[in-house]
Amino acid sequence: MDVETELNIISRDAGCKVMTAQLLVEKKKLANPPLELHYLGDRVLRQPAKRISKIDDDIRLLARQMLQTMYSEDGIGLAAPQVGVHKQLIVVDCEPDKPTTPPLVLINPVINKVSREVCVIQEGCLSIPKVFLDVVRPEVIEVSYKDEQGRPQRITAKGLLARVIQHEIDHLNGVMFVDRVDNKLAMNQELTKNGFSVAAVKPIQ
Ligand code: CO
């Protein structure tokens, strides 16, 4: 292969990378994450998010900054309302320690189906630091959404991924995971111990 051909191949490869570079986010902690989190008790977290009509570079930048913030704070999911943005955008990465596993960006996500089977998993939330409590939710879900390129996607998720997606979609509806905790005694103890007001919880009937 002559040098010129080789260079052409290299530049074509580079071109490919540029196409997806928008969301090539390094999984590392930044000293100054780009976005600020809001915490339980902040009204911002209780407002419903709006559908995103145009998936453009602004939305991709938001997704990228949300991922950087999520990795910096040791999270595996983050919803736009948690950074004060009322848009239907969530980011998820159940394998933050694996550098090459791509994160998921879900725009306007809709849960189409849930399994009858439920399971108990201990949840936490970047907006309620240090509080971890058991929550019951469906084990398997089918969710439709658009990705960061605007392509329609549909996935069936189970286990931790299903759990994180349900938790994050709740945020888009102004729902916090503590609203779904059955053990009120444990919840009151955990919240109080970590400086949160129990009055900020809005139990789901
Ligand atoms: Co959360």
Query: pTM for the complete prediction?
Result: 0.89
Helices (H) and strands (E) in the chain, counts: 4, 7
* pLDDT tens track for 137-162: 999 999 999 999 999 999 999 999 99
Whether the predicted pLDDT of 12 surpasses 60: no
Kind and range of the H or E run holding 60 = helix 57-72
* 20 CA → ligand 1 middle, Å: 27
pLDDT score recorded for residue 163 = 98
Q: Is 161 helix (H, G, I), strand (E, B) or coil?
A: helix
Active-site annotation holds for 168: yes
pLDDT of residue 15: 39
Residue entry with tokens 């916090």: 176
* Cα 33 to middle of ligand 1, angstroms: 17
H or E element that contains 119: strand 118-123
User: 132 CA to middle of ligand 1, Å?
Assistant: 11
Q: Distance from the CA of 76 to the center of ligand 1, in angstroms?
A: 9
Catalytic residue of the set 123, 139, 148, 168: 168
183 CA from centroid of ligand 1 (Å)? 18
pLDDT at 47 over 90: yes
**How close is the Cα of 177 to the center of ligand 1, in Å?**
7
Q: What is the pLDDT of residues 30-39, one digit of tens each?
A: 999 999 999 9
Say what percent of the chain tops pLDDT 70: 89
Q: How confident is the model at residue 2 (pLDDT cuts 50, 70, 90)?
A: very low
Q: Give the residue-averaged pLDDT of 184-202.
A: 98
Distance 92 CA to ligand 1 centre (A): 11
Q: What is the model's pLDDT at position 92? A: 97
Tell me the mean pLDDT in the region 127-134.
Answer: 98
Model confidence band, residue 6 (pLDDT cutoffs 50, 70, 90)? very low
Residue pLDDT, tens place only, 53-105: 999 999 999 999 999 999 999 999 999 999 999 999 999 999 999 988 999 99
pLDDT at 100: 87
Under the banding of pLDDT at 50, 70 and 90, the label for residue 205 is confident
Residue 84 alpha carbon to ligand 1 centre in Å: 13
Structural domains present in the chain: 21-195 (3.90.45.10)
Distances (CA, A) of 79 to 15, 36, 92, 162, 185: 31, 12, 9, 15, 27
What does DSSP say about strands 89-92 and 104-114: parallel, antiparallel, or unpaired? Answer: antiparallel
